[in-house]
Amino acid sequence: MLFISYTQKIAVVFLFALVLTSCTQEQPKPVDLNTIPGIIMGGDAGIFRGFNLGDSLATVLRKETAKPVESDSSYLYYEYTLPDTVGSYNIAYNFDEKGLYEIQSNIFITNAAETETIFNRFKIYFDKYYGSSQTEMGFSVWSVKSKKFGEVKINLSDESSDFTIDNAPGKLSLWIYKDDTSS
């Protein structure tokens, strides 16, 4: 017959509890960089492409993957092409004395019929990280707490209906900013 000391019993119970809790807790999964949201978001570090509101212009210049198309002391503007002729996107970063305070991105989808699918992929991505969105004035809106700025808003909208010409691309707009109304 096998006898186990009190200390060994405690160790076995502790190890069993550790294994049980590690199996039941959902571990965060990195964003799939092969999807349109993953390509545009640039991963799941920071609130957008590894950046957070409050970051300096120099930080964005150093980490962004291309040279800006336009820039000045408070503004950076980039343009990118999506793979497989899916479309293109642009990004505008706005800065003040506290650093990055606003990010805007327009995503143009070559095949307008795919716009809703890509919009839903973005929505799933943001829901995963920030909880369910609210609908405000046609935008899907997420509220995120920031140490430096308090409440930050993420707005996502499908603006494809703004294009009235035949064969126009689909358009999604993403806007990340400090919520001045929460003060």
Q: Please tell me which residue, 114 or 145, carries the higher pLDDT value.
A: 114
Q: Is the pLDDT of residue 62 over 60?
A: yes
Domain boundaries, the chain: 28-182
Owner of token pair 């706005």:
94
Task: For residues 108-125, give the mean pLDDT.
Answer: 91
Q: How confident is the model at residue 180 (pLDDT cuts 50, 70, 90)?
A: confident
What residue has token string 């930050």? 152
Residue 91, pLDDT score = 97
Q: What is the pLDDT of residues 5-58, one digit of tens each?
A: 545 444 444 333 333 333 333 333 445 656 888 889 887 678 888 898 999 999
The mean of the pLDDT values for the chain is 80
